[in-house]
Structure 1
């Protein structure tokens, strides 16, 4: 699900443009004129550097569909869809799987429950969920906060990622494919933790799967229903939904990969295209299951700019507070659903998250000077072997090329 955020970055040695907000260079070179582009949305002369970087990036990697939205001072200043496929028109409102950009949403849902007095962040997960007997006595040290900060004690570098171990879990538990989240929980309860909770940062999709179940148990609602009611509806966001493993929602783009694999949606052993059945969207709901447009995402990201009816000032303070451990170079860390790098000036921080699934690569950045952007692609691999995380430096280069920001706001055009 998750790729190391941005180029050359692992947690503990975080470097790169979106993390630092200070690095120069990173412009993509080459030309984009060879492709036949189908571009939608309003072109903005002052922001042509963004179009140039997007087209150059996509052409170099053979990406058929991309989307970008940019805000400045809370205003939507650019919303664009890009395609090199003559059969596909990408609108600014087209829907993409957003992969791990789902995690800031899940973290905010937990914070909203805490804000409403329905749970405390330092409550052990074992006090909330009716878990099976665990094989490790340290489970009561796994708090809700530690789930959201990737301090729960699981380490996929050691034991693998259970959210992608569907066939193993099916075999061990004797349950049929396609799995449910509770199957993954039961499997993980029978395994020892890799670290004592709270001692080691290790990115964990499973921790966010558990957080999704916490939301359901405490709220009494299905995870997606709670998010829609408490987080999205107050902002007028109606397009976002939980994605499906095979079928596509109206307005959702197709996904492309050069790879294939064995399906995890049943026990047939059939070989399927990687984006369509080598992982289960049902399992990944809370850690990577949402679909959205880039416009939806930057509208959503405004929640973190200032206190509102969705998240108050105390909740926002929790989002960006330093964890008990896992502080990287330059003071970077994972807060509650966002990677955070303190910087001088402006808001005092850059925050970002990326996401990755077969057929999907995504990035969302909120910078210290009041700009934000979300970029979505319907592919994450190609024959060139070029890095997808380079889109981070490319968009920072485009941002720095702007000499005058538009005064208008396109948000009213995209409800």
Structure 2
């Protein structure tokens, strides 16, 4: 769920961070970028949109990525849905499932906004009024916790800076030792540990991307709704849109139709106390802990159908709720105008109307991006790795897909949504 800001053309893209070096055994095969590859596509080819296929192929083959997926919408119509593979052992369909990492945050923010719209929450409510934020024995909670509202959680203004104190959702062993609890951790363990740590800055004074803030938002959803985080999102947000494939991912086991994940790295497991070395995508992090900040699995068509929800008021969100997603934070608007709204990064379009919105995601074995443009275009691209020996940036997919979109001369009038939903 790493998010490092870098400006690329029209968007600021978040890309992955480094993992502990090593060699994985079992689970998956790590492929080098220069390995011999075969190119396989699934889904309906669309001649007018061949530029998207070409960009995906070039991107994947340059990095040795074996599995990718892309969906594109235009004016609310699904015009392209494709699966891509560079391995004869892998059959990626347009409906295959991928871990989506931090694209999850748009679903968590939407669940909070839905509870607000239904009169069950107020974004100005401090999180300590909703959850039991109690530190371990002998430690004291920072008094500034009382100023951390839901607004601040969702806009990364909560007071935690992983560049200062580290990301608590990646400190499983430290939390286990400090609290004397076994791994795999529970959400309550992470919260208890953080309740006894000093905040890195006064809430509301700066933006610092925080997975922990969204972990807390997930627990608020559960407390207020009386449902599990997964069930609330499925019942209130996904089912009304006809999205039935999405689910919470598992740290090791795979759902039916889910792709395998690949990485050149390995590390110690956080799923038990053995300390055994495992491939990075399969146990160096706990998807259970990351449920609300990075835990969903989905297909690219699922994601662009989700993106369509934000185009206009409808049965799920009214106009007031939609405006909340694009609200500017009290601080943290970048010099070129983009900022983090509620679960989306937002760039107002200069000299025009509307905005471009996007999010990216990164986990060991996963790299993802979703984009909504002010011109009625959306796309989602998913890959089954985020690192390889080539050292090439995975954030380059942003510029590549903009190039493909800008090269389209005539957009198809067909709609593939009925085929997949």
Pairwise TM-score range, normalised by the shorter structure: over 0.9
CA offsets 1:106-133 (integer angstroms, 9 cap, x no match): 0000000000000000100011112214
Aligned partners of 1:243 and 1:211: how far apart in 2?
Answer: 18
Shift of 1:322: 0.7
CA offsets 1:192-250 (integer angstroms, 9 cap, x no match): 00010011100000000000000000101100000000000000000000000000000
Aligned partners of 1:78 and 1:50: how far apart in 2?
Answer: 9
Question: SS state of the match for residue 250, structure 1?
Answer: coil
Aligned partners of 2:94 and 2:179: how far apart in 1?
Answer: 43
Instruction: Give the conservation status (yes or no) of the 8 Å contact 2:134–2:141.
Output: no
Match of residue 203, structure 2, among 197, 202, 207: 197
Q: 1:72: which partner in 2?
A: 74
Aligned partners of 1:302 and 1:251: how far apart in 2?
Answer: 24
Instruction: Give the conservation status (yes or no) of the 8 Å contact 1:77–1:408.
Output: yes
Matches within 5 A, 1:330-345: 330-344=336-350
Instruction: Give the conservation status (yes or no) of the 8 Å contact 1:364–1:373.
Output: yes
Q: 2:96: which partner in 1?
A: 94
Question: SS state of the match for residue 61, structure 2?
Answer: helix
Aligned partners of 1:86 and 1:122: how far apart in 2?
Answer: 52
Shift of 1:135: 2.3
Shift of 1:308: 1.1
Aligned partners of 1:405 and 1:238: how far apart in 2?
Answer: 28
Q: 2:373: which partner in 1?
A: 367
Instruction: Give the conservation status (yes or no) of the 8 Å contact 1:148–1:211.
Output: yes
Aligned partners of 1:252 and 1:318: how far apart in 2?
Answer: 33
Q: 1:254: which partner in 2?
A: 260
Match of residue 55, structure 2, among 53, 56, 62: 53
Instruction: Give the conservation status (yes or no) of the 8 Å contact 1:18–1:352.
Output: no
Q: 1:2: which partner in 2?
A: 2
CA 1:20 to 1:99, structure 2 compared with 1: closer, same or farther past 3 Å? closer
Moved over 3 A (4+): 344-347
Match of residue 162, structure 2, among 156, 162, 182: 156
Matches within 5 A, 1:374-393: 374-393=380-399
Matches within 5 A, 1:9-408: 9=6, 15-19=7-11, 35-133=37-135, 134-344=140-350, 347-408=353-414
Instruction: Give the conservation status (yes or no) of the 8 Å contact 1:148–1:336.
Output: yes
Instruction: Give the conservation status (yes or no) of the 8 Å contact 2:67–2:92.
Output: yes
Shift of 1:35: 3.6
Shift of 1:191: 0.1
Instruction: Give the conservation status (yes or no) of the 8 Å contact 1:347–1:370.
Output: no
Aligned partners of 2:152 and 2:76: how far apart in 1?
Answer: 31
Instruction: Give the conservation status (yes or no) of the 8 Å contact 2:37–2:87.
Output: no
CA 1:348 to 1:332, structure 2 compared with 1: closer, same or farther past 3 Å? same
Instruction: Give the conservation status (yes or no) of the 8 Å contact 1:349–1:367.
Output: yes
Shift of 1:17: 2.5
* Aligned-residue RMSD, C-alpha: 1.3
Shift of 1:266: 0.4
Q: 1:25: which partner in 2?
A: none
Question: SS state of the match for residue 395, structure 2?
Answer: coil
Ranges in structure 2 where 5+ consecutive residues have no aligned partner: 14-33
Shift of 1:348: 1.8
Question: SS state of the match for residue 59, structure 1?
Answer: helix
Instruction: Give the conservation status (yes or no) of the 8 Å contact 2:3–2:209.
Output: no
Instruction: Give the conservation status (yes or no) of the 8 Å contact 1:20–1:343.
Output: no
Instruction: Give the conservation status (yes or no) of the 8 Å contact 1:363–1:376.
Output: yes
Shift of 1:311: 1.3
Normalised TM-score (structure 1): 0.94
Ranges in structure 1 where 5+ consecutive residues have no aligned partner: 10-14, 22-31
Aligned length: 396
Aligned partners of 1:216 and 1:173: how far apart in 2?
Answer: 24
Normalised TM-score (structure 2): 0.92
Shift of 1:4: 1.8
Shift of 1:345: 6.0
Instruction: Give the conservation status (yes or no) of the 8 Å contact 1:2–1:354.
Output: no
Instruction: Give the conservation status (yes or no) of the 8 Å contact 1:177–1:267.
Output: yes
CA 1:345 to 1:411, structure 2 compared with 1: closer, same or farther past 3 Å? farther
